[in-house]
Amino acid sequence: MTDRQSKIAVVTGAGSGIGRAVAVELLRAGWSVALAGRRAEPLAETAASAPGGASLAVRTDVSRPEDVEALFTATVERFGRVDLLFNNAGTFGPGGVPVEELPYEAWRHVVDTNLNGAFLCAQAAYRRMKEQAPQGGRIINNGSVSAHAPRPHSVAYTATKHALTGLTKSLSLDGRPYGIAVGQIDIGNAATDMTARMRTGALQANGETTPEPVMDVADVARTVRHMAELPLEANVQFATVLATAMPYIGRG
């Protein structure tokens, strides 16, 4: 990266899975990274995965406005600015529950985490990026292939990921005057603890349960890093990274 481009990132959901992989990739590449998550121990494990990296662990529930504000305040106090937000924290919610049986509390939890949390973090990042000097920065939202095509019994998750696409487009438009680039990565079947069931069998649209291929989560992390390290004059608006043979395009 050029001297003009600073290297201060905030990664939410950094305690496991895709968030951890991206945080470690950035730390190893020389970024300073604020690690956000609800539990301190996994955040410490993420930091330990990149020895010598400049990291800051902040316990954060992204659905709570006061937690999000504290996260970004701590990041600026420690590192001076915010150049990248990887808006990653999310939850699938209860799996395999038909829409007519989904409790409202479960729906609300998914919406609060996946959509409201993404908005709160983007808003906080946007404020800092607009005010700091030099002005600008980048936000990368973690969408999903579910932002395009749902799985059976995934109404809350799918609805929030479709909404996240609208959030990405709106933020991208509003950020133009201030040098704030906003894009989205839609990921399919990265190998993490959350997707372990894919390898043993996932419910398909035809009612069958079939194992699905997965890909190395490191390939996702490298893609995010590529998006992050572009100059602000360039932007990957939408990227889709998925296991090559997963049942997504066509009929599977």
- Helix, strand, coil distribution of the chain in percent, nearest 5: 45, 20, 35
What is the token pair recorded at 82?
Answer: 């915010």
Strands (E) located in 88-177? 137-142
CA distances from 46 to 32, 43, 96, 106, 212 (A): 13, 5, 30, 28, 27
Identity at 217, one-letter amino acid code: V
Q: Is 157 a catalytic residue?
A: yes
CB 110, CB 146: distance < 8 Å: no
Distance of CA 6 to the CA centre of its chain: 20
Residues whose CB falls within 8 Å of the CB of residue 56, separated by 6 or more in sequence, listed in order: 32, 33, 34, 35, 74, 75, 78, 79
Integer Cα distance of 5 and 113 in angstroms: 30
* Catalytic residue of the set 104, 126, 157, 178: 157
Residues whose CB falls within 8 Å of the CB of residue 166, separated by 6 or more in sequence, listed in order: none
Integer Cα distance of 143 and 161 in angstroms: 6
Which residues are marked as active site?
157
